[in-house]
Structure 1
Amino acid sequence: MIVDEAHSFGVLGATGRGLAEAVGVEDDVDIIVGTFSKSLASIGGFAVGSEAMEVLRYGSRPYIFTASPSPSCIATVRSSLRTIATQPELRQKLMDNANHLYDGLQKLGYELSSHISPVVPVIIGSKEEGLRIWRELISLGVYVNLILPPAAPAGITLLRCSVNAAHSREQIDAIIQAFATLKQ
């Protein structure tokens, strides 16, 4: 089994190892892949696992012709890993922030995904409506990622709101208020 922990590493599980840890299937996983660009605050990525890794190591052209990450990138990753290991309360703060944003947007009547995570996608119908709301949010001082087809399903535009543990309750409230302003 291969598990992509790009969005869950550092966030889910008792120690932040991701979804496989959270649901108790780590022993069944052959390869875990992830990115340094989310919870690890760097660039690059990783693939770790059992003997199946040898197939990637010797048979994957992208792997063979990839350069090593820079020392500064690795230093950032190591620092982030220490933070994940030594400050588990940040995971709780992160999920508190995600819940607060999700609940606030849901109460305003926005269509959201069925599960709560630190990335809260607001589902908008048309590209034109998505662009309009995105521009208005920017004018209100709130930046969200605009996701259009083909990165989003055909006929759907997503406004991807990302929260982190450093956001204050007031900042999350300001995001909710900006979305509320657009409902008026």
Structure 2
Amino acid sequence: MAMLDRIAEITHHYGAYLVVDDAHGIGVVGDTGRGVIEMYDLFDPVDIITGTFSKALGNIGGYVIGSRELINFLKYQSKQHLFSTTATPAITGIIRAIELVDEEPQWKDRLWENITYLKNGLIGLGFDVGTTASAVIPVKVGEIPKTLEAGKLLLRAGVYTNPIMYPAVSRKNARIRMNVMATHTRAHLDKVLNAFADADQKVKITNA
């Protein structure tokens, strides 16, 4: 979790712009799911907010929030925007997803119950999950071949994960990454823990 209060202080001390990409925090972190910025109450000091629709909001694409002048500038000067294709009508579902963050807060509470259960279960088995503070939980493996083999074993066990490796992370910091959902049951999460324990027996992910 970024120390956003200190970052904001330093940023504005030097007259810079503060851009916060809260892809993993929106809908998950903060009292009402408005992310790390809400947690620190720093909406005014943050100049630009970026994020993705593909996590808590269950869609595709991303967003940039800023002043009217900034957004107009990006519309005409950003190549990523100019050469992107038009979104499908399905993107209107994002509006409803944002509304549901407020209307049905029980899903965020249930999500955190699942995050805590899976994270503590993995740590109890000896896995390194780093300092994750969201619904995106990594299991650090290190070596790329071992990470790919672990991902294959997990998939065979019926657990879909994402092996993350160089250049997304440093060469010796490869990992298995998972996204926890509020709709996962305790049985689902136990299946994940059992699959990781079995994979560890075969490819030795932990140091135990």
Q: What TM-score results when the alignment is normalised by the length of structure 2?
A: 0.82
Change (3 A) 1:89 1:160: same
- Between the aligned partners of 1:142 and 1:61, the Cα distance in structure 2 is 38
Name the amino acid aligned to 1:62.
Q
Name the amino acid aligned to 1:146.
P
Q: Give, in angstroms, the shift of residue 67 of structure 1.
A: 4.3
In structure 1, the residue matched to 2:144 is: 127
- Between the aligned partners of 1:150 and 1:166, the Cα distance in structure 2 is 32
Corresponding position: 1:52 with 2:70: yes
Unaligned runs of 5+ in 2: 1-17, 202-208
In structure 2, the residue matched to 1:164 is: 181
Matched-pair contact (CA < 8 Å) for 1:106–1:112: yes
Name the amino acid aligned to 2:122.
L
Residue by residue, what CA displacement relative to the aligned partner does 1:150-177 show, whole Å, maximum 9, x if unpaired? 1121122110011111101111111011
In structure 2, the residue matched to 1:102 is: 119
Aligned-residue identity in percent: 36
Q: Give, in angstroms, the shift of residue 60 of structure 1.
A: 1.8
Count the aligned residue pairs.
183
Unaligned runs of 5+ in 1: none
- Between the aligned partners of 2:36 and 2:51, the Cα distance in structure 1 is 11
Name the amino acid aligned to 2:27.
G
- Between the aligned partners of 1:6 and 1:65, the Cα distance in structure 2 is 22
State the secondary structure of the residue aligned to 2:71. Answer: helix
Q: Which runs of 4+ in 1 moved over 3 A?
A: 64-68
Matched-pair contact (CA < 8 Å) for 1:99–1:116: no
Corresponding position: 1:71 with 2:85: no
Pairs within 5 Å for 1:1-184: 1-50=18-67, 51-74=69-92, 76-184=93-201
Does 47-56 or 85-94 show the bigger shift?
47-56
State the secondary structure of the residue aligned to 2:44. Answer: helix
- Between the aligned partners of 2:80 and 2:145, the Cα distance in structure 1 is 37
Q: Give, in angstroms, the shift of residue 121 of structure 1.
A: 0.5
Name the amino acid aligned to 2:77.
G
- Between the aligned partners of 2:193 and 2:110, the Cα distance in structure 1 is 18
Q: What TM-score results when the alignment is normalised by the length of structure 1?
A: 0.92
Matched-pair contact (CA < 8 Å) for 2:27–2:35: yes
Matched-pair contact (CA < 8 Å) for 1:3–1:33: yes
Change (3 A) 1:52 1:166: same
Matched-pair contact (CA < 8 Å) for 1:127–1:155: yes
State the secondary structure of the residue aligned to 1:175. Answer: helix
Q: Give, in angstroms, the shift of residue 182 of structure 1.
A: 2.5
- Between the aligned partners of 1:61 and 1:142, the Cα distance in structure 2 is 38
